Amino acid sequence: MMRIDKLLANMGYGSRKDVKLLLKQGAVQVDGQPVKDAKRHVKPETEVVTVFGEAVDYKPFVYLMMNKPEGVVSATEDQVETTVLELIDPSYAHYELFPVGRLDKDTTGLLLLTNDGAFNHALMSPRKHVDKVYVAEIDGEMTVDDVRRFAEGVELEDGYTTKPARLEVISRNGRRSMIRLTLSEGKYHQVKRMVAAVGKHVERLERIQIGTLELDPTLERGAYRELTQEEYDALLA
C-alpha cells in the first residue's frame, strides 16, 4: 500500500502540492469513489485510481531497450557530454531511470535503462556471468590463433587475464575483419583491450545482445521502447 499523493506524484501527475490540488478539486477517485485526503492509502495493484476519469496506469518499474547512438555517454548526467537520458521523453522523468551497465561514447547498440536496482544487479553482477554479444569492425586480420587465444582468455596490458570468450570471424577483406564476440564479464573497455592484446584495433563496435535479449532491428539509432513481459521474463529466467 502507498499514500495516494505519493502514488500520483510518482506517476508524473506533478509535485505533492500539485496532487493535493487535484485531490481538493475532486479530480481523483479510487474504485469510483472521490478521494480528497492526501494521506489515504491505496493498493494500486488491485484498486482502480482515476484522475479526471482516466485510469492511472501504475508501474513501479520501467525497463527500456535503447539502440544507443554514437556520441552519447551512458550516464545519468554529465556536465559536458550528451547523456542517454537526454534522449528519453520527459514523460519518463519521474521514474528516475539509469543505464544498466554502460557502453562507451563511441560504441553503439543495445543498452537497457531502468529504475529497478534488482534488475540491474541480476544482469550486471560479475557473479551472474550474463553473456553480452558484440559485433566489431577490426583494423587487422583476425586469425585462427586469435580465436584460440580468446577461448583461453587473453592477458590484458595490466596483467589481468580475461575469462574465456567466444570469438567468431564473420568476414575478412584485406586488413579488415568483422567479428562477433561473446563475453561473460564486463571490464573497462574490455573488447578494445582484448583486440589490442592480439595486435589489432577496434574501428567500430556495436552490442547486439544481452543474455537472451537481442537488439530490436526495427529500432533506429537513438530510439527505444519498453521491454515486453516475455523479454523481461526470459532475461531473468
pLDDT digits (tens, 9 = 90+) for 81-128: 999 999 999 888 889 999 999 999 999 999 999 999 999 999 999 888
CATH code reported for the domain at 63-127+213-236:
3.30.70.580
| pLDDT computed for residue 58 by the predictor | 87
Q: Which three-class secondary structure state does DSSP give residue 31? A: coil
Fold designation for 132-210: Alpha-Beta Plaits (3.30.70)
| pLDDT computed for residue 90 by the predictor | 87
Residue boundaries of the structural domains of the chain: 2-55, 63-127+213-236, 132-210
| pLDDT computed for residue 161 by the predictor | 98
| pLDDT computed for residue 185 by the predictor | 94
Active site (catalytic) residues: 104
- What whole-number distance in Å separates Cα of residue 62 and Cα of residue 156? 37
Q: Are 194 and 154 in contact (CB under 8 A)?
A: yes
| pLDDT computed for residue 151 by the predictor | 98
pTM of this prediction?
0.87
| pLDDT computed for residue 35 by the predictor | 96
Domains 2-55 and 132-210 agree in fold: no
Tell me if the domain spanning 2-55 has CATH number 1.10.1740.10. Answer: no
pLDDT digits (tens, 9 = 90+) for 195-216: 999 999 999 999 999 999 999 9
Query: Angle formed by the axes of helices 117-124 and 229-236, to 10°?
Result: 50
| pLDDT computed for residue 45 by the predictor | 86
Q: Which region, left, alpha or beta, applies to residue 132 given φ > 0 means left and ψ of -120 to 50 means alpha?
A: beta
pLDDT tens digits for the chain (237 residues)?
889 999 998 888 988 899 999 999 999 999 999 999 999 999 988 999 999 999 998 888 999 999 999 999 999 999 999 999 999 998 888 899 999 999 999 999 999 999 999 999 999 998 888 999 999 999 999 999 999 999 999 999 999 999 999 999 999 998 999 999 999 999 999 999 999 999 999 999 999 999 999 999 999 999 999 999 999 999 999
Which element (helix H / strand E) includes 177? Answer: strand 176-183
